[in-house]
Amino acid sequence: MRDEQLNNQRNDINLSKSRNNKKLTSMLWLPLIALMALLQCSAAVEFTFDLADNAEDCFYEEISRNTSAYFEFQVSAGGQQDVDVTLKDPQNKIIYSLSRATFDSHQFTAETTGVYTACFSNKFSAFSHKIVYVDFQVGEEPSLPGVDEHATVLTQMETSSQAIHKALNDILDAQTHHRLREAQGRKRAEDINQRVMIWASLETVTVVLIGLIQIWVLRNFFTDRKPSQARYGRL
């Protein structure tokens, strides 16, 4: 009887441990599932492109009426780091325009439903191309599933999910900032390397020419003149 009671107690303990492990596993997976769903619902476009010299590139985004949008750009490398920017609505009406700008941002609310156009022009530059970073966010950021949908007091797990979400957004902003800094540094290093190569090539050509001229002059000092050349020289 005692052995049976001990076995039953052990089975109950193992069963309770397994239930606790399952609860803990589900609690750990809940924030990850919520964040994955949030990323899938996010309506944001973020990219970097190369704008050729004397060229114009346009990008298109469909926006519904009364939807807020945020538009941001920054020229990270190339020439004087400036471009012409134009933002148009579906009726081809200019709602935002800027000339020779390095970076700026613009927030607006769509008055009509349709395709909005963002154009970047480098036609004023005939030699240098530009590297442009663009961030186009449409609509408000969706709430975390199961967290921001109720008005009751948040649990500890929901508070942790919000904190993780905010930390991930901060990490994305920091990564974008460092990517732009890295692109600027790489472009500047490539320009310096090209100038050093040109200067070194010119120095090499100059040293070779000076050496050849010195050899020619020394050979003339030690070359015997013919009698006719000497007579003409005395005259």
The CATH number of domain 42-142, selected from 3.30.70.100, 2.60.120.380, 3.20.20.70, 2.60.40.420 = 2.60.120.380
- pLDDT tens figures, 48-84: 888 888 899 999 988 988 888 888 888 888 888 889 9
Helix (H, G, I), strand (E, B) or coil at 96: strand
- Alpha carbon 60 to its chain's center: 19
pTM score of the predicted model: 0.56
CA distance 45 to 134: 8
CA distance 118 to 60: 6
Are residues 116 and 154 in contact, defined by beta-carbon separation less than 8 angstroms?
no
The secondary structure of residue 152, as a DSSP letter, is S
- Of residues 30 and 92, which shows the higher confidence score? 92
CA distance 23 to 87: 51
Residue 47 vs residues 78, 114, 134: alpha-carbon distances, Å: 17, 22, 6
Delimit the domains of the chain by residue range: 42-142, 153-222
Average pLDDT, the chain: 77
Site of tokens 């929901």:
158
* Residue 125 pLDDT level (bands cut at 50, 70, 90): confident
- Of residues 120 and 78, which shows the higher confidence score? 120
Q: Is residue 200 scored above 70 in pLDDT?
A: yes
Site of tokens 């107690």:
9
